[in-house]
Amino acid sequence: MASRIYPPSREEVDEIHGDVVFPDSHPGDPSLPYVAMNMVSSLDGKASVGGKSGSIGGAVDRETMRVLRSKVDAVAVGAGTVRAEKASLTSGGRRSPEPFAVIVSSTLDIPFENLPHTTRERTIILTCKDSNPTMLGEARERGRILTFPPGDGGNRLIDIGGAMRVLKSRHGVGSVLVEGGPRLNHAFIRGGLASEIFLTLSPKILGGDPLETGGIIIGELPGAGEPPRGELLSIHMPEAAGEPGCLFLRYALESPGFR
């Protein structure tokens, strides 16, 4: 027994996820912000073409990304994302002030010219205590620097849970949208920090080499027990002409035993 849910009876909405409201803390720990992840994937599970993900989802995906950013206090990306292209982490004016642009880079080995357009006051760079002093100096001109010990995920990232606590306590960040890359996504999943996932499933087939095209979550998860899984909350599909026909999936996420 199953339900056929597509083709659907349609309920028109003006904006995908325009009605989303996030809580202002992690459901299990009020000292942590609420974290949602936003990802785009090709039909065959690829997350990027030449390190960039913009061409996979199309215009509606980019628009939906800005809608989701307008719902949070901070948008976080990893160093690889900043290396691949100039980061624009704003809501495009939907939220004032714009959410904090949070860059996670343990080594600060990033092209600073690719940092977001956001003002210095709204840019926060999370890095390791022992980062190169020269790089630290340059980074300090671009945004606030917060330093942390290394994480325990074996992926050279910082202690991401500790960083989230500081964002909440010191900067009033109640909600964070994580936009990848796959190793930063992994750190949030592994730490049991993420409460939901927005996945744009593009109908494009990209093929390619798995070492280059990555995937949306890269890194080992604790082996014992069932893997974390999402619970489907909604599916949207835009009707705009010329769009590739992405599915916009929203999943609640439980990570039992991960925290």
Six-digit token string for 136: 């630290």
Q: Which is nearer to a second copy, 89 or 249 (CB)?
A: 249
Q: Select the residue interacting with a second copy from 30, 45, 154, 172 (CB under 8 A).
A: 45
- Positive or negative, the CA dihedral 219, 80, 211, 247 is positive
DSSP β-ladder status, 247-254 and 144-148: unpaired
**Is 242 one of the binding residues for a second copy (CB under 8 A)?**
no
Tell me which amino acid residue 119 is.
Answer: T
CA distance 176 to 99: 9
**Is 225 one of the binding residues for a second copy (CB under 8 A)?**
no
**Is 36 one of the binding residues for a second copy (CB under 8 A)?**
no
Q: Select the residue interacting with a second copy from 240, 256, 257, 259 (CB under 8 A).
A: 240
Task: Name the minimum Å distance from CB 62 to a second copy.
Answer: 14
Six-digit token string for 147: 């330093």
Taking contact as CB under 8 A, which single stretch among the options 76-84, 93-101, 126-134, 219-227 is the one that binds a second copy?
219-227
**CB-count exposure of residue 256 (10 Å: 0-12, 13-18, 19+):** exposed
Tell me which amino acid residue 154 is.
Answer: G
CA distance 168 to 24: 9
Task: Name the minimum Å distance from CB 107 to a second copy.
Answer: 21
Task: Name the minimum Å distance from CB 230 to a second copy.
Answer: 4
Site for a second copy in 111-130 (CB under 8 A): none
- Residues facing 201 on adjacent strands: 41, 247
Do residues 79 and 109 make contact, with C-beta atoms less than 8 angstroms apart?
yes
**Is 204 one of the binding residues for a second copy (CB under 8 A)?**
yes
Site for a second copy in 175-194 (CB under 8 A): 186, 189-190
Helix (H, G, I), strand (E, B) or coil at 148: strand
**Is 13 one of the binding residues for a second copy (CB under 8 A)?**
yes
Q: Which is nearer to a second copy, 168 or 204 (CB)?
A: 204
Q: Which is nearer to a second copy, 130 or 220 (CB)?
A: 220
Six-digit token string for 163: 């960083």
Question: Where does this chain bind a second copy (CB under 8 A)?
Answer: 1-16, 41-47, 60, 186, 189-190, 197, 199, 201-211, 213-221, 226-232, 234-240, 244-245, 247-249, 251, 253
